[in-house]
Amino acid sequence: MAQNSDLTDADCEEAIRKFAEITNTDEALAHFYLQDFNYDLDTAMAAFYSEQAEVAGTSNQANDSGSENEIKSSESSDNEESTSEIPAKKAKIVKGSVEKIPKELTMITWNIDGNDRDALNTRFLAMLHIIAKKVFIYLCSIAFIFDTFNPEIIFFQEFVKDLLPKLREVMAKMYTIIVGNEAFPYFVVTLVSKDIKIERYMNIPFTTTGMGRTMLVVEGKSGGLNIKLINTHLEINPEIIFFQEFVKDLLPKLREVMAKMYTIIVGNEAFPYFVVTLVSKDIKIERYMNIPFTTTGMGRTMLVVEGKSGGLNIKLINTHLESMADKKFSDIRKGQLIECFEKMKPFINEPNTLSIFGGDLNIRDHEISDIPPKVLDAWCIGGCNRTHKYTWDQTKNDNHTAFKKGQHRFDRVYFSGPYKNVDFCLHGTQRIKPSLVFPSDHFAVCCRFFNAN
């Protein structure tokens, strides 16, 4: 939901304080809910209590706790391999394909700047919020332009009960109003001109949803024209998430918020910060390896995960290469990059295999060489859009004012496999209230792979 620009920082802080006090939670959780509901206290609390009721109703049916849902790397052996079988949902099928390959797959990589403790909990919850809410679709939601063109059909999303009386008062004379699933804090509403004869409608819940999402299907007729309408509000969470600079203090919150949807695989916790990979439970994890680099003075590793989604083999390499610009660190980083590409090579020619290597590579263009054949740079395949080029951009992001105002493409994604196209964009580019900081000093990279061979 768009944030009300009239709200002051004091308004936001007061709403956060009241939410935490009334619900007996903390301010970080209060910020998570309020930011989603335009800092409207009543609506945010309704969402909170609704979700708590849902959790209470389903907790007795759960077989695994959050910690049991996680596959955690062993500190005693960085190279230990583990196997886990996760029940997989039915894969989307590419028409004409012999193998059952998902139609598309989305991943995010984000250095969360866990080393910076300033507003860390608030920043991290904002990141989870951005990840969970990143691809909502709005087809028509601007009420004040109706008098300009009087549309025959209107789709609303994120509608709330409080607005229904006003909607009916203003629009019921001209439109048939069909309301979606009011059991949830917000829902879809379809308005159909009374010139159109409604024959039937159906509110169809999705097979899998954690947010009460449905398809509101309406069928009607206007003269000789049959009309079929589907209004929905999709939740398209990324199947794969790479975090870097993760810290132990954030693990409980990560498990609390994400363990129902993702298998959580943790890197080397023996160091102050480490990498974490989240994999959708639609993907069956076959094994993982936490592999230390041959040379590192900062405890850097490759967190390698192998799994399967339908007929698609998935190979993931999440890493955080050596930091600093000095030649000593640059040479180490170049060696680490080569090790990652070497690890990727055996996957390249495997049939129906998507391999993804990414993370905070701290890399400069002049340090890159010998990219293996068939390994592609997701930013380049996505169109080389300069708006989404720099993931560490001190001309825009002032979380750390001590650095020179440089621009770097530190965070990168390389891939190989059956997908020919990539939608590439950056997230976390807006400040969060009330802290007025960015979620991290790095922007997140989001890639949607689609159009499989």
Q: What is the CATH number of the domain that holds 45?
A: 1.10.8
Number of domains in the chain: 3
Q: Is residue 1 part of a domain?
A: no
Which residues does the chain have with pLDDT short of 70?
A: 1-6, 26, 28, 32, 51-99, 129, 131-150, 208-211, 233-237, 434
Do 69 and 179 lie in a common domain? no
Q: What pLDDT score does 88 carry?
A: 35
Which CATH number goes with the domain that contains 384?
3.60.10.10
Do 362 and 412 lie in a common domain?
yes
pLDDT recorded at residue 318:
97
Question: What's residue 147's pLDDT?
Answer: 34
> Where among 59, 77, 99 does a domain terminate?
59
String of DSSP letters for 42-83: HHHHHHHHHHHHHHHHHGGG-SS-TTTT-EE--SS-TT--B-
What pLDDT score was predicted for residue 94? Answer: 41
Contact between residue 281 and residue 87 where contact means Cβ atoms under 8 Å apart: yes
| Residues 383, 422: Cα–Cα separation, whole Å | 9
Let me know whether 245 and 220 are in one domain: no
Token duo for residue 117: 């403790």
Are residue 223 and residue 244 in the same domain, yes or no? no
Residue 215 lies in a domain: yes
In whole angstroms, give the CA distance from residue 394 to residue 406: 5
| Residue 21 pLDDT | 83
Q: Does residue 3 form part of some domain? A: no
> Would 281 be classed as within a structural domain?
yes
Is 191 in the same domain as 115? no
Instruction: Tell whether 437 and 360 lie within a shared domain.
Output: yes
Provide the 3-class DSSP secondary structure of residue 366.
Answer: helix
Domain end, chosen from 170, 202, 232, is at: 232
Which residue type is seen at 343? K
**Beta bridge partner(s), residue 353:** 313
411-416 and 274-280 strand pairing = unpaired
pLDDT score for 142: 26
| Greatest Cα-to-Cα distance within the chain, rounded to the nearest angstrom | 76
What pLDDT is attached to residue 85?
36
- The answer on 128 and 147 residing in a single domain is no
| Cis peptide bond upstream of 434, omega within 30 | yes
* Residues 120, 205 within the same domain: no
How confident is the model at residue 132, as a pLDDT?
57
Residue span of the structural domain in which 210 resides: 143-232
One domain, residues 226 and 245: no
Q: What's the pLDDT at 433?
A: 72
Is the model's pTM score more than 0.85?
A: no
User: 291 and 157: one domain?
Assistant: no
Measure the CA–CA gap between 281 and 46, rounded to whole angstroms. Answer: 28
- Looking at the fold, whether 301 and 366 belong to one and the same domain comes out as yes
Q: Which two tokens stand for residue 274?
A: 């480490």
Task: List, for residues 228-245, the tens digit of each pLDDT value.
Answer: 888 876 655 689 999 999
The pLDDT, as a whole number, for residue 76 is 37
Looking at the structure, do residues 313 and 330 belong to the same domain, yes or no? yes
Pairing of the two strands 240-246 and 104-111: parallel
Q: How many CB atoms lie within 10 A of CB 332?
A: 22
Tokens of 141: 């939601």
* Among 414, 415, 411, 436, CA closest to 426: 411
